[in-house]
Amino acid sequence: MSITIAVDARHITAIATEVFAAMIDRETGLLTPWPGGPMTVADPLHAWVDLCTVPASRLQLTTDAVTAADLTRAFLTLGEAEPVTEADVVDAFGELANVLGGSIKALLPEHVAHTLPEVSRQSPSDAGAVRLNEARLAWRGRPLVISLWRI
């Protein structure tokens, strides 16, 4: 079964909802489908893990840098105004991609390994990667995209 069939946008959304409810918000309702209309991510930050499917694929998380910092605070149960370093954000945002990637992996019929997470302001999927599926979400109203790529 191809990864496109096993993992569609609804699956991605369902998994993200569980992850956020358990470990980010500790309640439901704060991560919702993007209400529609244009979605622009200014000053984007990307986190991803590559899945060792054949052909290889990638689970990528994209939001703006300010939201990534807020996600980090939520993940670490810090207050809204508490400072977080860039290293904190890289680690937390990367771990979020790791948890999402691992959960999505479990939908596949056969076990595959996945890479350790990476984080960058440059999308790794600009050249050559083909977008398979994508969930456009709003976290506390901010844009968040979780996309699946063939690489």
Interface with another protein by CB under 8 A: which residues?
11, 14-15, 18-19, 21-23, 26-29, 72, 75-77, 87-88, 91-92, 94-95, 98-99, 101-103, 105-107, 111, 113-114, 116
- Closest approach, Cβ 29 to another protein, in A, equals 5
Q: What angle do CA 45, 130, 44 make, to 5 degrees?
A: 10
Cα dihedral 65, 70, 76, 80 sign? positive
- Closest approach, Cβ 30 to another protein, in A, equals 9
- Closest approach, Cβ 127 to another protein, in A, equals 27
Report how far residue 24's alpha carbon sits from residue 69's, in angstroms, rounded to the nearest whole number.
Answer: 12
**Of 19 and 145, which CB lies nearer to another protein in the complex structure?**
19
**DSSP-based three-state secondary structure for 87:** helix
